Amino acid sequence: MSDVKNYKKGTTTIGIHCVDGIVFAADKRASLGHLAMHKQVDKIFKLTNKIAITTAGMVSDAQILYKYLKAELELYKLNKNAEPTADVAAALLSNLLYGGRQSFFPYMVGLMVGGANTNNSFKIYSLETSGSSISDKYIAIGSGMELAYGSLENNYRDGLTVDEGVVIALKALHSALQRDVFSGDGIDVVIINAEGYKKFDKSKIEQIMKKK
């Protein structure tokens, strides 16, 4: 059964940069081939109070990279006596991924890291197996990314607030969930702003979905 767990995959994760923070949204389905294996899988994880990571791809690889990165950020805080930034988290994760590509089996994942940066600003990065790290205004990763990008390109604009970004992220995720068989079974939404990391409860997400 552990072998099956290691190869669960399938996802749509979305990140949006806003003037006052970052929005992350993700579905909750894990799949194996054409089967939905689990319906309540977390794909957005808190690294610090102002940095988070989203995962797509092989579950075991995503889990171990999250643990490695969280530990590296804690060491950074101890060594530098300063809170790590989104830039620092992206650089550390990029190094981990690049090191993994030397292995016979590189990490089979697509990741996003985002949160607070220097000068009270915010940033999101997409990272993939080779170790590349690219910052952008909006990002979609996973099996439903093509469907999500169509919605994001139509609705994103510069100067969005976090409240507006949540609505746009949910619209994009809804587009993916309608067509991508590997995405579904619930939605998680997380925002990171000046106050820190905040995960929305199910009732709040349902309220926004009804209004959008």
Catalogue the active-site residues. Answer: 11
Q: How far apart are CA 156 and CA 151, in angstroms?
A: 8
Q: How far apart are CA 100 and CA 96, in angstroms?
A: 6
Q: How far apart are CA 123 and CA 17, in angstroms?
A: 6
Q: How many CB atoms lie within 10 A of CB 34?
A: 8
Q: How far apart are CA 74 and CA 59, in angstroms?
A: 23
Q: How far apart are CA 114 and CA 93, in angstroms?
A: 12
Euclidean distance between the first and the last CA atom of the chain, given in angstroms as a whole number: 40
β-sheet bridge partners, residue 135 = 125
Q: How far apart are CA 11 and CA 135, in angstroms?
A: 20
